[in-house]
Amino acid sequence: MHPYGSDRVRVRDDGAVVLSCRVAKEGWQARVAKTLTTSEHPGTAVLWDDECFEVLEIEVLANSVSYTLGPWGEQHTMRAPSTYDAATETQRIADRRDVVTRVKGRHAATLLGFLTGHLPAAVQEQIANETGTNAPRLTIVSAIPELAPSIICLNMIVAARMGLRPTPDIPVAILLLSGYMAISAVVRAAFAFLNARPMGSVLGLIGYGIYYLLSPKRGKRIGPLAAPRGEGTFQLEIADDVKLRDAAKMREPLFTLLSPAEQQRIAARFDYDYRHTAASTAWGILIFALLGVVTSVQTLRIAPRPTAFLSLITAGYLMVEQIVRLTQLSDRPIGSILGVIARPLSRKFVG
C-alpha cells in the first residue's frame, strides 16, 4: 500500500491499516458504534489502490492525525466514497494553500479596511469573494476615519466658544472638506448597514480610476464605474442595421428640415414619414422665433444695436417661414433654411 504526499502508513498485526497524516483529511469520519439507542454508522469509505477501506478510528495527536482503516464490510451501503490517490492528495494540498492565502488576504483586507472600503462597490465585492471578507464591513470601517477631520474641527470651534482656546483660524476649504467627509461617512455607513451592500467614495473612485488607467493588465481589472455583480443591466448585442434604423428614428425632426428630394431619399431607405414630426418641429421653431422677435424688439427700444437688428431679421424670417410651412405640410414635405444645420448630421442617412 503506497501512501501519498507526506503521509505514512503501517499495517498492524490484526490487519488494520494506520495512516498517519500531518493534516486532517476533510470529510473523513470514524465509525459510530451501535448503542442501545442508536444504530451503527460505518465510517467514511476510502478507495485506495483499487481496494475499499472503512475509517474505523481517528486519533488526533499533537502534530498529526492518525486514521485506522479496515476492510469495508459488505453489509454496509457505500454512498459517497472518498478517493485516496496522488491526484486527490495534490488537490487537497492546493485547497489548503488556497485557504491559507484567503485567510491572509482576509486579515490584510480587514486591517486595511480604512482604505479598501473607499474602493468602488464592485471592487469591494471582488475582494470579499477572493478573501472571504465581509464587504459591507469594509465600507463601515472606512467610514470611521472620515469622521476624524470634522470631529477635530468641531472640537476646536466648541473649545474656542467656551473660552478654553483661542479662536481657530481654519480655512474655509478645510471646513467644507471635513463637512463633506462627515456626510459621506454617515451616508456610506448607513447604506452598508441597512442594505448589507458595500458603497465606495468619490476619493476612492478617483484613486482607483488612476490605478486602473495606469495598470498594465487593465483588461483583467474591474472598471471604476462597473456595477456590482447582480446590479448591472443586461444588454443584447444589437445588429448594425438595427442601430442605423434607431438612429434614423431619433433624427426624424432634423429630417423634416431638409429639402423635399432629400426627405424622399430617406423615406426610400427607412421607415420615415415627414407627417409624424414635421408639424411639431415647425411649431417648436415658430414659438422660439416669436420669442426671438419679441426679445429683439425690446432690445431695440432700449438700446438699438446692429446685433439686435440682425436677430430681429433672423427670428422674423424663421417665424414667417414656419407659418408658410405649416400651411403646406399637410400636402407635401417642405424644407427649411435650417436644413443647412441639419444636413451634416443627416448625411449618412440621405445616401
For the chain, what percent of residues have pLDDT higher than 90? Answer: 17
Domain borders along the chain are 8-84, 100-220, 240-350
What is the C-alpha to C-alpha distance for residues 132 and 105, in angstroms, rounded to an integer?
8
- Residue 63 has a pLDDT of 84
Band of residue 284 on the pLDDT scale cut at 50, 70, 90: very high
- Residue 43 has a pLDDT of 87
Band of residue 302 on the pLDDT scale cut at 50, 70, 90: confident
Residue 1: all three cell numbers together? 500500500
Averaged pLDDT for residues 100-127: 78
User: Which of 16-30, 65-79, 273-287, 307-321 shows the lowest mean pLDDT across its residues?
Assistant: 65-79
The 10 Å Cβ neighbour count of residue 252 is 20
pLDDT, greater one: 338 or 111? 338
pTM, full prediction:
0.45
What is the C-alpha to C-alpha distance for residues 6 and 25, in angstroms, rounded to an integer?
13
Summarize pLDDT for 175-199 with one digit per residue, the tens.
899 999 999 999 999 998 888 888 9
- Residue 305 has a pLDDT of 82
Summarize pLDDT for 142-171 with one digit per residue, the tens.
888 888 888 888 888 888 887 777 777 888
From the list 29, 41, 28, the residue with the least C-alpha distance to 83 is 28
pLDDT, greater one: 169 or 53? 53
Summarize pLDDT for 206-265 with one digit per residue, the tens.
988 888 888 887 777 788 777 666 665 555 676 777 778 888 888 889 899 999 999 998
